[in-house]
Chain A
Amino acid sequence: MPEPIADFWPDDIGRSSLRTPGVILKEVASQLGTKTQQVVKADVRTSSGSDGQFYQYFVLVVPAMDNYKYQLFYLLHPITLYPLSLFWKDTWIPVASEEQLIEKVKEIIGSPETRKIIQALLSQVGSPNTSQELASRG
């Protein structure tokens, strides 16, 4: 009787310390609502294409405007996560690592363009207090 095949799998194969790009975006998205009194929230939509790529869309959502959505940016990544491509302001930006992604997302959400968009949404809903609060945070 042949001997059973040894277990070749590494002991730590079932554990992963990786944060996927989607998880990173979701963490960032979850922080917006508290800063706008839930008037403008952020969400991440994920889809997969027939090309084997995963698409992550970072969208602002305004529940009071019949769940109006504004797509701020999106990225696509392979199953191996990096390098990925992020699309913002009409430009494809290459992102090589988790650190670079976090830096880029920080830059986008802190940009004057994003601030202007969120303030415009707050104004549409008629939430001057929140709008001023956000502006005063500089």
Chain B
Amino acid sequence: MILASAGNILVWIVWVGAGFACLASGVAVVSFRNPFYSALALIGNLGSLAVLYLLLSAEFVAAAQVLVYAGAVMVMFLFVIAYVGPRTETPWAGGPNWQSIAAVLAAGSIFLEIIVAVALNAGGRLSHTDHVNATFGTPGWIGRLFLTDHLLAFEITSIVLLIAAVGGVILGSHTKRAA
């Protein structure tokens, strides 16, 4: 019992740390003026999200998050930011800043809408969680699910990635404009 409560407190401490890092780095991505710092903050966001995935016993998804996002996607982001060069946003041309006020209002209403919708639909039932067995979230379990129950999704995902790669090549290739 004492051991169990100590483990519980440890999980809470890790959750609070990862959750706070996640929220703070998310706000930092949006608020930094330099895209390079925003990309670095997004790496922190993805890392703390991987910790949260581990707490939810999604081990394979956490590993894939670190490999795919922090490894591949963020390197591509940083490379493109370095290629484009340092550019700060042009300041607003005076006048009332109604556009950003509307943006803050819209984002806040989206947030409130999600909270209200989830709380109304599943408010009382979210406190109890089923006990899952030890294989939940392991790579072998995910692989078996992918190749049996969700085979169509797996194949469609590969086609989507192929199309995106072809599109990236076409967008990135030099084309002579017809004069």
Chain A partners chain B: no
